[in-house]
Structure 1
Amino acid sequence: MSDYALEARGLTKTFGGFHAVKDVNLKVRRGSIHALIGPNGAGKTTCFNLLTKTLTPTAGQVLLDGQDITKLRSAQVAKLGLVRSFQISATFPHLTCLENVRVALQSNNGTAFQFWRSLKAVEPLNQRARELLAQVGLAGREETPATELSYGKKRALEIATTLALDPKVMLLDEPTAGMGHEDVEPITDLIRKVSAGRTILIVEHNLSVVSSLCERITVLQHGEVLTEGTYAEVSTDPEVITAYMGGVDD
């Protein structure tokens, strides 16, 4: 088995004559938390979409556990264990926390769209749903509608629904975006906790979160890899500093 859970080789995406992502090579070591950072407009979101097959690359390959998944659809790679948070963690606001996680569990066991089934048929999933809610700090909130949760708790619920798919590799797109200071630390601690036994690739603008979580960091600029290294290495790189100072909106 490859040492790398997720790889991109020469990954490229063009829109007309514009290179949104160009010749990106990325190796995410198994069991690590790896960050993909860069100024606004660097191509991070496009890269995430290519890795999870929301977009089809113009050129290059994506490998999961050494297996070429470039030609697979997003639903197929999710079943193989590569899950992007927003794809399955968009919560249903008027369902309870328990119901939200149970829907995700149903999708994992092939009963997601069997709406004619009675509630008794899905009751066996309730215990696992409760365990996942407890894991993300939502024990006791099982019957709370998602719409009544604070922003930070909603993000925790989203992570619980992501975990319901039992991912091998989790791609988290700006998990602390829009949070107040009081919510950032709990979500950071939660990501660290759920990373046990998993590989995580994260896009995050909050560099203090990146510095505390991530072992390896890849910096994108204009759709290309600018540099890669530890936080200490990339944060003092003159090219990275210049890129951030001169960033434009994504």
Structure 2
Amino acid sequence: MNASGDFILQTQKLTKGFLGFIAVDSVDLNVERHTIHALIGPNGAGKTTVFNLLTKFLTPSSGTILLDGEDITAARPTQIARRGVIRSFQISAVFPHLTVRENVRVALQRQLGTSFHFWRAESSLNVLNERAEELLDLVGLLRFANDEVADMSYGRKRALEIATTLAMEPKLMLLDEPTQGMGREDVDRITELIRRVAKGRTILMVEHNLGVVSTLCDRVTVLQRGAILTEGAYAEVSSDPRVKEAYMGKSAA
């Protein structure tokens, strides 16, 4: 872990209100470079709203967002992505009727400056095959490169989504519930995949599976009713009676 204070992402008093309801309440978030940082909390705690604010799908009511120390609060979603903040979603966002390789090549097109040149021959994208296959190998999908995505299991679709996220060369990956809806085998596979791709990268993840959080994450921020309840290493926050009460709905014994 890097020296204290080397933060890739920070928020200062980040707040979002909807018609009088405060969904995110003065959140000060500090994500250290080259770590895996989890944002957890009970349903309705404001986790996904924070992600939407960070990627500018929502505009903050007040507060500041800093990336590498630079204020990006007023930036548009496309500008945020160009700065290297790339997000995956709770629902797998891949093209079901393309092959696995083709999905990754679509994400890689940005490097050729042909993102919107859909009239070009498919063969013009063959130069991307080597990098696409490197990414598929990284996420354990190389042997499925020619398979149509619609025929794949849910867990493998999520692995493919991580590959397409990596194709965008992220400096900060935002993973929104990466193991949601998975059985134990897929959860274990995706957990190991996240650990593998995290090397040399920074990951901020919303995750409901505390087993995943405990094995992966360097630091955990707990939200309750839109505000930070506590923060620290998993062992520290999981033993906090306030966290137990927030999750269980009653005071810890």
TM-score by length of 1: 0.95
Structure-to-structure mapping, 1:45-84, within 5 angstroms: 45-84=48-87
Shift of residue 90, structure 1, vs aligned partner? 1.1
In 2, Cα distance between equivalents of 1:136 and 1:180: 18
In 2, Cα distance between equivalents of 1:128 and 1:121: 14
Instruction: Note if contact 2:90-2:178 (Cα within 8 Å) is conserved in structure 1.
Output: no
Gaps spanning 5+ residues in structure 1: where? none
Shift of residue 136, structure 1, vs aligned partner? 0.2
Point out the more displaced range, 24-33 or 63-72.
Answer: 63-72
C-alpha spacing 1:123/1:65, structure 2 compared with 1 (3 Å): same
Structure-to-structure mapping, 1:1-250, within 5 angstroms: 3-86=6-89, 90-246=93-249
Q: How many residues align?
A: 246
1:133 counterpart letter in structure 2: L
In 2, Cα distance between equivalents of 1:210 and 1:109: 37
C-alpha spacing 1:169/1:89, structure 2 compared with 1 (3 Å): farther
C-alpha spacing 1:150/1:170, structure 2 compared with 1 (3 Å): same
Point out the more displaced range, 76-85 or 107-116.
Answer: 107-116
C-alpha spacing 1:98/1:88, structure 2 compared with 1 (3 Å): farther
Instruction: Note if contact 1:101-1:129 (Cα within 8 Å) is conserved in structure 2.
Output: yes
Instruction: Note if contact 1:6-1:64 (Cα within 8 Å) is conserved in structure 2.
Output: yes
- Describe the SS at the equivalent of 1:140: helix
Shift of residue 87, structure 1, vs aligned partner? 9.7
Percent of aligned pairs with the same amino acid: 64
Instruction: Note if contact 2:176-2:207 (Cα within 8 Å) is conserved in structure 1.
Output: yes
Gaps spanning 5+ residues in structure 2: where? none
Q: Which runs of 4+ in 1 moved over 3 A?
A: none
Instruction: Note if contact 1:89-1:159 (Cα within 8 Å) is conserved in structure 2.
Output: no
- Describe the SS at the equivalent of 1:47: helix
1:35 counterpart letter in structure 2: A
2:82 counterpart letter in structure 1: K
Shift of residue 86, structure 1, vs aligned partner? 2.6
Shift of residue 126, structure 1, vs aligned partner? 1.1
The CA RMSD measured in Å over matched residues stands at: 1.5
Point out the more displaced range, 39-48 or 82-91.
Answer: 82-91
